[in-house]
């Protein structure tokens, strides 16, 4: 009887353990496996630490094991110019970039990145998308593209020149070889600038070797963050655009596989990313301009006089007219930009200063 009782006790314990193990294992067996994405950003490692990594880290933590996004930086998986096609084919699952850099085959693509004088301040971007209709226009444009879903646009920093030589007049722009975005580069050629297209990570070395005279790629925050302030000497305070327009995109098939609650979580994290950049850039642009030699200044500030810079602004207006003829949708975007600019100018300070 004693042996029989011991046997029953051991058998019962084993059965309970087996049932418990089955219960614990059930989610892995019966539930969906973890969704894993590969997302590549246009930004290099140092910049990605600010413009996207905090949001992706937050998403991965909040997803609680249901989904993980693996973040890759500029050119790490594919060259930036091939990002769109790679995402469309499913080579990568998602992208953070502007359309201009990755040659997105949409007519609104030219407005991504730095469209000359389209914005004055970073807040202009979310207002244009959320209150003036650019969001709906972008959604409409990408509905015509196979297997790519546009998710959200936000603002980055303004576009300034940081160079080896000082720029104090339009004449000083002539012959400058700069690393910049496609549309910004084409616009600046009329003032003698020579745009050079090279991989992002090669730009710093290209300045050191003399292949480049500088960059027209960012504001002063990025110059200091990514190391460009260490290889250039001057920062031109005039900018050709007040904020870069960048977006998040996903392969449509992969996006549709994500359950609604995780889609919503990702949207919230994109908003978090947009918010982070707003204060990081806004504060950084001001603080770094006020540095002295004693507290770490690396770039000397230069300025082209306002009356001379007005020539560039007038050229941008003509450029807008040219782009408006490209398509009905492009004309609609240009019309919105003009209406928005008119409202801001009429509102006066602090929206616009003469």
Counting DSSP H helices and E strands in the chain, the numbers are 13, 11
Q: Is the pLDDT of residue 11 over 60?
A: no
DSSP state of 95: E
How confident is the model at residue 353, as a pLDDT? 82
Taking alpha carbons only, the member of 180, 237, 169, 172 closest to residue 214 is 180
Average confidence (pLDDT) over 23-27: 40
Residue 28 has pLDDT above 90, yes or no: no
Give the bridge partners for 235, in sequence order.
162, 301
Structural domains present in the chain: 34-157+243-283 (3.40.190.170), 160-241+289-347 (3.40.190.170)
Give the model's pLDDT for residue 267.
98
Question: CA-CA distances (angstroms) from residue 194 to 50, 163, 167, 173, 344?
Answer: 30, 13, 15, 9, 33
Rounded to an integer, the average pLDDT of 309-334 is 97
d(CA 60, CA 269): 10
Average pLDDT of the residues of the chain: 92
For residues 217-223, average pLDDT: 98
pLDDT digits (tens, 9 = 90+) for 175-218: 999 999 999 999 999 999 999 999 999 999 999 999 999 999 99
CA dist., res. 24 & res. 30, Å (int):
11
Considering the chain, what percentage of its residues have pLDDT values greater than 70?
91
Question: CA distances (Å), 96 to each of 44, 201, 247, in order?
Answer: 12, 17, 6
Question: What does the pLDDT look like over 55-107, one tens digit per residue?
Answer: 999 999 999 999 999 999 999 999 999 999 999 999 999 999 999 999 999 99
pLDDT over 80 at 16, yes or no = no
Among 349, 104, 301, 319, residue whose Cα is nearest residue 190 = 319
Q: What are phi and psi of 236, to 5 degrees?
A: -85, 120
3-state secondary structure string across 166-224: CCCCHHHHCCCEEEECHHHHHHHHHHCCEEECCCHHHHHHHHHHCCCCEEEEECHHHHH
* pLDDT score, position 27: 40
Mean pLDDT over 21-27 rounds to: 41
Residue 26, pLDDT above cutoff 80? no
Residue 198, CB-side half-sphere exposure with 13 Å CA sphere: 17
Using alpha carbons only, give the angle 222, 81, 103 rounded to the nearest 5 degrees: 100
Give the pLDDT score at 1: 41
Measured CA to CA, the distance from residue 279 to residue 231 in angstroms comes to 26
| pTM for the whole structure | 0.89
């Amino acid at each position: 009887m004693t042996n029989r009782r011991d046997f029953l006790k051991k058998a019962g314990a084993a059965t309970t353990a087996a049932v418990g193990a089955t219960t614990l294992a059930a989610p892995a067996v019966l539930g969906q496996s973890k969704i894993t994405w590969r997302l590549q950003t246009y930004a290099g490692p140092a910049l990605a630490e600010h413009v996207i990594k905090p949001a992706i880290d937050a998403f991965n933590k909040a997803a609680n094991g249901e989904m993980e996004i693996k973040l890759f930086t500029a050119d790490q998986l594919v060259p930036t110019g091939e990002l769109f096609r790679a995402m469309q084919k499913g080579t990568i699952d998602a992208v953070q970039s502007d359309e201009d850099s990755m040659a997105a085959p949409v007519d609104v693509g030219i407005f991504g990145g730095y469209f000359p004088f389209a914005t004055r301040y970073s807040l202009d971007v979310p207002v244009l998308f959320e209150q003036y209709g650019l969001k709906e226009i972008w959604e409409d444009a990408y509905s015509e593209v196979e297997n790519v879903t546009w998710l959200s646009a936000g603002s980055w920093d303004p576009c300034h020149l940081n160079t080896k030589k000082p720029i104090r007049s339009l004449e000083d722009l002539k012959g400058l070889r700069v690393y910049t975005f496609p549309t910004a580069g084409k616009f600046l050629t009329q003032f003698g600038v020579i745009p050079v297209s090279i991989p992002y990570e090669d730009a710093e070395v290209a300045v050191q070797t003399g292949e480049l005279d500088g960059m027209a790629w960012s504001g002063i925050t990025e110059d200091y963050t990514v190391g460009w302030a260490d290889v250039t000497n001057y920062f031109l305070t005039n900018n050709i655009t007040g904020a870069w327009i960048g977006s998040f995109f996903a392969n449509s098939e992969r996006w549709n596989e994500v359950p609604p609650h995780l889609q919503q979580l990702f949207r919230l994290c994109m908003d978090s990313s947009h918010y982070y950049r707003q204060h990081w850039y806004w504060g950084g642009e001001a603080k770094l301009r006020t540095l002295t030699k004693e507290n770490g200044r690396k770039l000397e500030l230069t300025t082209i006089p306002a009356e001379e810079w007005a020539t560039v602004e007038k050229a941008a207006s003509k450029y807008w007219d040219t782009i408006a003829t490209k398509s009905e949708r492009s004309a609609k975007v240009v019309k919105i930009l003009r209406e928005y600019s008119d409202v801001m100018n009429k509102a006066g300070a602090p929206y616009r200063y003469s």
